[in-house]
Amino acid sequence: MMNPLHIPPFHAGKGKPLFFILGPCVIESRHHTLYMAEMLTKMANELSIPFVFKASFDKANRTSIHGFRGPGLEEGLAILQEVRETFHMPVLTDIHDAGQAKAVAAVVDILQIPAFLSRQTDLLAAAAATEKVVNIKKGQFLAPWDMKEAVNKCFESGNQQVMLTERGSCFGYNNLVADMRAIPEMQKLDVPVVFDATHSAQLPGGRGNETGGMREFVPTLAKSAVAAGADGIFMEIHHDPDHALSDSATQWPLDKTFELISELKILAAIIRS
């Protein structure tokens, strides 16, 4: 088991500083993605925080067939490669089927397994086989301790560079609840645990043809997760969330991100001392 993990240029996990995974939900365009990467890189440098940039080339899990999905694999990877080479930070993106793993691993540092796919054996094994860090999002339908077998699928495929992300659990219809006990429970698996503060504020399908959410609770959830001992915080960030092409109800505003991260950094220092 590798805890902490090495995500060049930093280490994440046990005994290491709180790190952040930040970026827009989906690649809306080359220009927008590079702009967001530039702004977040400047912020991370000013705050001296370990930082991973995230953006998805395809959002396969949409409420409606008409929902915006992104530019697709080829164009999306070209944009992510440009981000990585321009701003010199680690990059994360999702994969949705085993056939994408090798191509994506050639460009990014972390392969992310979406929550609804967290039990898919072939997908986990293919991601692990790339020897890149694998971030498995806990399924909304799974208990924290159920993630043991998802982790083992990667370990037994020859890759111990694994981390888990809590993103809320189904709570009745069109609602999620974030159980902070999940963080220490999953840390018992001896892997770093991240908390996804923006997806945990979702109301899945809450707008009928798209997912709703309660963005105002993102800071409360993020602070609670830091207090519970999370190793990292995941937040989707957008310069104009209300007009974002995906997850417009929960992405956090870019102009409020510096203040929130500053508070989380201070809280982490207090908790960890």
- 4-60 tens-digit pLDDT: 999 999 999 999 999 999 999 999 999 999 999 999 999 999 999 999 999 999 988
- Is the pLDDT at 62 greater than 80? The verdict is no
Nearest-5° Cα angle at 233, 7 to 91: 40
Residue 272's H or E segment, with its range, is helix 257-272
98-147 residue pLDDT tens: 999 999 999 999 999 999 999 999 999 999 999 999 999 999 999 999 99
**pLDDT in the model for residue 1:** 63
Question: At residue 100, what is the residue type?
Answer: Q
What's the pLDDT at 201? 95
**Angle CA 89–238–257, to nearest 5:** 75
Q: What is the pTM of this model?
A: 0.96
Three-state DSSP class for 133?
Answer: strand
- Better-scored residue on pLDDT, 68 or 92: 92
What pLDDT does 229 receive? 97
What superfamily in CATH does domain 5-272 come from? Aldolase class I (3.20.20.70)
Backbone angles phi, psi at 39, to 5 degrees: -65, -40
Short-list 28, 199, 21, CA closest to 109: 21
SS3 content of the chain, % helix, strand, coil (to 5): 40, 20, 40
**pLDDT at position 206, please?**
64
N-to-C CA span, the chain: 25
| Domain ranges for the chain | 5-272
Q: What is the tens place of the pLDDT at every residue in 237-271? A: 999 999 999 999 999 999 999 999 999 999 999 99
The token duo for 167 is: 């993103």
Nearby residues of 27 by Cβ (< 8 Å), 6 or more positions away: 33, 55, 56, 57, 70, 71, 76, 79, 80
pLDDT at 83 over 90: yes
CA distance 151 to 190: 10
Strands 232-238 and 252-253: parallel
pLDDT band at 224 (very low <50, low <70, confident <90, very high): very high
Is it the case that residue 205 has pLDDT exceeding 90?
no
Quickly tell me which residue has 């208990």 as its tokens.
143
- Cβ–Cβ under 8 Å, residues 37 and 31: no
Residues in a beta bridge with 22: 53, 235
**pLDDT, tens digit, 9 for 90 and up, residues 134-160:** 999 999 999 999 999 999 999 999 999
